[in-house]
Amino acid sequence: MSATRTRKYTVLFFLALALWLVLVWALSELGMWQLRRAAEKQALMALYQARVEREPVTWRDLQADAASDARFRRVRIRGEYDVSRQFLLDNQVLGGEAGYHVLTPFLIDGGGPYILVNRGWIPLGASRAQIPALSEPRGTRELSGALERFPAVGLILKGAEIAGETWPSVVQVLDADRIGARLGKSVYALQFLLDAGVAEGYAREWRPLDLRPEKNKAYAFQWFSLAALTAGYAILWLVRGGARRKSEAAAEVENEKHV
């Protein structure tokens, strides 16, 4: 085999090997990422189960525990609704029927930001042009419920987070800063899911957190399988390439003997 061909084979060999290694590494990293996502979901579900089963704490106790993440915490709050300025979160479905979630600002005794109390689901009605009438519970009251993030959406259209001009105000996406600007007062970063036993709400079927980590594990298995298959092809290519080069070298030696 000539020196030129030897160098060519060597360069191609190392280029191909590098590509195989990068591909196997990338596929393996995707598998590891899916496993990390599954672990995160499992931890979040465990946190949810641990917190929703506890007795609610007072708002003051929650604020005193500043080091703790408040998500899923069950809380008792005392204060008054601002019933004159309620929000309707659009595109909410219950039992296959379209509707809204009713979120009413609540001012907790002792001051602080508004907290949006999610009082539950109401049907859309004849059309979106006809805004449903909402109940207006007045006076000081004590509520119990769980804290949760505002609903997330996959694709946010431009202006979806801007609430309507009239009251009740219809909004597509909840954003605490935008809602606070609309109310002229800061809003707590988590919504308050009103307990089902409280009479002044609407339909409430708060679903247990189910993030399905099994899906991520299945995706991880697929990525690892592709990585193993890619590595297998690489090994086969190396073996066959080595055998071919050995055969070619032997053939050249044999030809040289007959020259």
DSSP annotation of 165 reads S
Q: What are 80's strand-pairing partners? A: 107
Other CB atoms within 10 A of residue 81 CB = 22
Percent of the chain with pLDDT over 70: 80
Give me the mean pLDDT over the 153-176 stretch: 69
Q: Which helix (H) or strand (E) holds 105?
A: strand 97-108
Find tokens 């409280």 and name the residue: 198
Q: Check whether 187 has a pLDDT greater than 70.
A: yes
Find tokens 């641990």 and name the residue: 50
User: Residue 56 CA to chain centroid, in angstroms?
Assistant: 26
Query: Is the model more confident about 232 or about 67?
Result: 232
- Rg for the chain, CA atoms, rounded: 31
- The 10s digit of each residue's pLDDT in 67-116 is 568 888 899 999 999 999 999 998 888 888 889 999 999 999 887 889 99
pLDDT at 78: 94
Query: Is the model more confident about 246 or about 230?
Result: 230
Other CB atoms within 10 A of residue 108 CB = 20
